[in-house]
Amino acid sequence: MTQPFKQHLIDPEICIRCYTCEMTCPIGAIQHDDNNVVVDAESCNFCMDCIPVCPTGSIDEWRVVKTPYSLEEQFEWEELPEQQEMTDTAPEAEALDPAIAALLEEAHKGAGGKARAPESAAKPTINMYTIGKPATATVQGNYRLTDAGAETDTRHIILSLEGQTFPVLEGQTIGVIPPGVGADGNPHLPRLYSVSSPRDGERPNFGNVSLTVKREEHGVASNFICDLNPGDGVQVTGPFGATFLLPEDPDARLLMICTGTGSAPMRAFTMRRERTVGQKSGGMTMFFGARSPDTLPYFGPLKKLPESLLKTHMVFSRVEGQPREYVQDRMMAEEDAIAELLGDVKTYIYICGLRGMEEGVEKTLTNIAESIGTPWAALRDTMREEGRYHVETY
């Protein structure tokens, strides 16, 4: 009898095809085709390097098997298979090697882990357009969001998909394939961007989506996108992501915490709520960190929103003459308001932006939860189980 073992798998429904795991794997055990990103059971050595870098937790899937799922099988999946019952398996065979279990435990620390969609979220479409069969979008607009003299060049890009079926929900991402080939001679992989417009479009029913893109020095995709002109064609993949979604429940309260271009999905959430729920005091709170007002995407429009729609805390780290402030510092200063939100079962938390912010935000949430006698780790796990806690950081 073949000895059962735990096979490492990737959830194709949740994976956003950012390929970070594949680029991180030191032994090339992670591969992709046009459809999915998969782990080769023959070569995976359980080093766990891929676990903490995954922005969605889709990498963290395990099945006890006697015969591993082949690469070909995994490439075909639209969802993960259920765990098969193994009546003849000794219970210890299902346990991970203790050393591997310890590594996994370590990788699970912090804000990672398996996310769930809010119960009332709309059902997302995923992976409709792939590397082999992308959609062609046409650029409708490319507007600079940061001041002309500001050190960062962040752009609001509007893409038209009119005439094509491209159903996208707030919180989902799409891939943009830069033209040309990389240093290895292969075509560039798509780069992932959250949509910053709501599902019915940047302009309702005009079949368009918007993205928020910051120009990175030497960035292949970001420079390509930031230099686009109206009328240009762009190859796009997706949509991806099945958990970082908006609850349809109009009574849901959103606590959104973001840095820089991590504000993209928060803009989409805000616009969707504005169009469907309208103003509702206490319904949405956002902590948004940037270096300075002139580098904060959507600074002007955000300032104009009424508090009854969105209570905005804009937090700046590099304003001359002012001490550095990060989102987690302002959250601590707003301890009472956050404690009230944490105590409400209608609260949904969304964290998006720089990976480095996770630790500080976790610490602050720990302090605030514990000040009201609630252990944060337990509350966070319950919220995650209930689809009320979402992290997407890179």
Q: Which residues bind ligand NAP (CB under 6 A)?
A: 193-194, 212-214, 259-262, 264, 289-291, 317-318, 326-328, 352-354, 356-357, 360, 392, 394
Nearer to ligand NAP, 57 or 289 (CB): 289
Shortest separation between residue 248's beta carbon and ligand NAP, angstroms: 22
Integer CA distances (angstroms), 73 to 45, 81, 259, in order: 20, 11, 38
Which sign does the torsion angle of CA 372, 378, 381, 383 carry? Answer: negative
Tokens of 160: 């038209």
Shortest separation between residue 288's beta carbon and ligand NAP, angstroms: 9
Integer CA distances (angstroms), 206 to 12, 200, 203, in order: 30, 8, 6
User: Does 214 belong to an annotated binding site?
Assistant: yes
Shortest separation between residue 8's beta carbon and ligand NAP, angstroms: 25
Alpha-carbon distance 326 to 353, whole Å?
12
Residue closest to ligand NAP when measured from CB atoms: 260
Nearer to ligand NAP, 49 or 325 (CB): 325
User: Does 392 belong to an annotated binding site?
Assistant: yes
Comparing C-alpha atoms, which of 120, 2, 12, 119 is closest to residue 59? 12
User: Does 71 belong to an annotated binding site?
Assistant: no
User: Does 318 belong to an annotated binding site?
Assistant: yes
Shortest separation between residue 28's beta carbon and ligand NAP, angstroms: 24
The residues with which 162 forms a beta bridge, in sequence order, are none
Shortest separation between residue 113's beta carbon and ligand NAP, angstroms: 18
User: Does 203 belong to an annotated binding site?
Assistant: no
How far is C-alpha 261 from the geometric centre of its chain's CA atoms?
12
Shortest separation between residue 19's beta carbon and ligand NAP, angstroms: 13
Helices (H), the chain: 20-24, 50-53, 71-76, 98-108, 220-226, 264-276, 299-304, 327-333, 335-342, 357-371, 376-385
Nearer to ligand NAP, 339 or 354 (CB): 354
Nearer to ligand NAP, 4 or 289 (CB): 289
Alpha-carbon distance 58 to 114, whole Å?
7
Give residues with Cβ within 8 angstroms of 362, minimum separation 6: 110, 111, 376
Q: Put residue 83 in one of left, alpha, beta given phi > 0 → left and psi -120 to 50 → alpha.
A: beta
Nearer to ligand NAP, 102 or 109 (CB): 109
Nearer to ligand NAP, 74 or 243 (CB): 243
Nearer to ligand NAP, 316 or 376 (CB): 316
Alpha-carbon distance 371 to 365, whole Å?
10
Nearer to ligand NAP, 314 or 337 (CB): 314
Shortest separation between residue 325's beta carbon and ligand NAP, angstroms: 8
User: Does 194 belong to an annotated binding site?
Assistant: yes
| Residue whose token pair is 């993960």 | 80
Shortest separation between residue 140's beta carbon and ligand NAP, angstroms: 18
Contact 291, 353 (CB under 8 A): no
DSSP-derived letter for residue 46 is -
Question: How open is the CA angle 81-106-290, to the nearest 5 degrees?
Answer: 95
User: Does 160 belong to an annotated binding site?
Assistant: no
Tokens of 260: 């820089």
Shortest separation between residue 359's beta carbon and ligand NAP, angstroms: 7
Nearer to ligand NAP, 330 or 384 (CB): 330
User: Does 109 belong to an annotated binding site?
Assistant: no
Task: Count CB-CB contacts under 10 A for residue 31.
Answer: 16
**Binding residue numbers for NADP(+):** 194, 214, 261, 317-318, 353-354, 392
Task: Provide the annotated binding site.
Answer: 194, 214, 261, 317-318, 353-354, 392
